[in-house]
Amino acid sequence: MKGITKEQAFYYGLLNIPMMIFLGGLEELGWRNILQPELEEKFSFGIASVLTSLIWAIWHLPLFFIAGTSQSGMNFGLFTVMIFGMSFALASIYYVSKSIWLCILFHTIINAFSSIWIINEDILTRVITLVVLIIFSFILVIYSSIKRKSLLNNQSYIKE
């Protein structure tokens, strides 16, 4: 990282969690529970994640023009890079677990602690984080697919 500024005590993040369920976390009901699976019926995991990322970034665009929101002081381009990484991470969590609640929790925790530790906005840091999240997401999805196929093959073998 190019630098992190600690703005508040750790417990503020913990106290923010219940509020952030409603101020971001529940978005996952639409993004990962509806949009991502619908797109995956037509496209690959990667393409579906990119499309979800684009829609998710545009969804947040109005917040950049509203004073007092956490996005109002951010660079939209760097935010979009972050959204792409988060979108792949969340999509892989949902793909592997089929649990929308894990996605809501992950999104909530990121939002709750983003006001505690402020990551300096830097394109190199964001791109490296994006690449790592995408690679890790694909590894997780591929591993999960192989594991599922193996389990299905073992179940069909046992039935015979």
pLDDT at 2: 58
Residues 6+ apart with CB under 8 A from 2: 120, 122, 124, 125
Distances (CA, A) of 21 to 24, 32, 72, 151: 6, 15, 20, 34
Looking at residue 118, what DSSP letter applies?
E
Rounded CA gap, 131 and 46, in Å? 13
Q: What is the pTM of this model?
A: 0.83
Mean pLDDT by groups of 10 residues along the chain of 160 residues? 65 83 88 95 96 95 90 88 94 95 93 76 84 94 89 64
CB 8 within 8 A of CB 118: no
Rounded CA gap, 13 and 33, in Å? 26
pLDDT at 101: 95
